[in-house]
Structure formats: structure tokens, C-alpha cells
Structure 1
Amino acid sequence: MTVAAVILAIGMGFGRFAFTAIYPQMVEEGVLSLREGSLAASANYAGYLLGAILAMRARARGAHRLCLWSAAGTALCLGVLAVPMPVWLIVAVRGVAGVFSALAMVAASLWLLEQRRQ
């Protein structure tokens, strides 16, 4: 049960909302403009939608493995964002992070329900 909560914290907390905390600093340092930050946020939301659509095929028996992949993918996306890169790549990484975030939410929920036999 605790592990599912950790997966949700990683996927939702870091994968979805970490960018919000660093965005003002990125604008101040000239890494992104307001428009480019909006594109990155939109890409994250689109990725979240795509991840939710992909997660419709997820099954409870494979939820543990999907949790591991989504946590690893989220960590990788965060690591990649620490490297200087062109704006289009930041937007793409934010989209991929959205996919992993949605997968984490669905997979952790499935895993928790499977563990509780519901």
C-alpha cells in the first residue's frame, strides 16, 4: 500500500508538478519564454491524455511492472530536463513525462486494488 503511494508521489508530484516549481526560474534565466513554457505545459497535458488512453489497456496483474516503468520513466525525464537543451526538446520531454505520470496514476491504483483484492 505504501509503495503505491510512493509511485503516485513520483508520477504525480515529480512527473506532473515539478516543472511548475522551476518554471519561474527558467523564465528568469531566459531558458524559456512565457509562450514556450505554455507549450511545455500543454505538451505535458497532452502526454497525460495519451498516457491515460494507453493505460486503458493496463491489467491488474501487470500493474506492478507498469509502476516500475512509470517511476523509472519519470526519473529519466527529470534527469534529462537538468541538461541544457533546445526548447523543442524540453517540450517533447514534458510530453513524455505526462505519459509516464498518467501511467503511474493508473498503474498504482490498479496495483493497490489488486493487493486489496478488489
Structure 2
Amino acid sequence: MQPAKFPNAKAVSKDFADLALFGGKLFTLERNAFQICRRDAVTAKVELCWSFADETLTPERRYAQPYGLAEALVVDTDGAWIGIDNNFGPRADGEKRPVVYRFAAPAGGWSAKP
């Protein structure tokens, strides 16, 4: 499901745009859900997810495309880097370049318990 902040949010297929292995856990970049999910590296079962929708779906940062555009993920101790491939489409504020966001690690770190 797309986040409520997404214009005309609807149910969409699960979509992994990138993967990262950190601290023995698998992290998936789920671009249509605007979230990073931590998964068991053996079973791939979801343990916990963190949304980046509040930061990337502000009115001025939105794109016209009807799907998520995040395509790159790097996770480290201090946080995560998320790269947006805008396919040359401008954001609402007119920015036309691809964007890389840096997000701080969640409270309790990436191994936090739900």
C-alpha cells in the first residue's frame, strides 16, 4: 500500500528497489511503500520497517509519477542513504537532478526491537 501522504494512494505490488546487508540483517528498500524494512537474512521475514514518506512526500518534494522513485540504499551505523532516480522528471519545486537523502538511524539503532 502506498502511504497516505501519496496523492491518490492505492494498493500496489510489493517492490524491492535495492537491498543492503548490515549487522547480519537484510534491509530492503520498498519504494512503493516509501520504507526501509529489516528482514531476517535467512528467512527474509520482515522484522521492522521505517517509513521515509514524511520527508520525501512533502508537497514541494513530490514527483508527478504514480509510483515511488527510490532506487538506491546504503545502510551504516549512523543511518541510511536513499537515492532517488527521477527519470529526468522534475519535482514540484522544479528540481530536476536525482537526489540522495541521508537519514539518521532510528532510535535504538537498526537492531531496535519493535
Normalized per residue, the structure richer in helix is 1
Normalized per residue, the structure richer in strand is 2
Alignment TM-score, normalising by the size of structure 1: 0.26
Specify the structure having the higher radius of gyration (Cα). Answer: 1
Alignment TM-score, normalising by the size of structure 2: 0.26
* Higher RCO (C-alpha 8 Å, min separation 6): 1
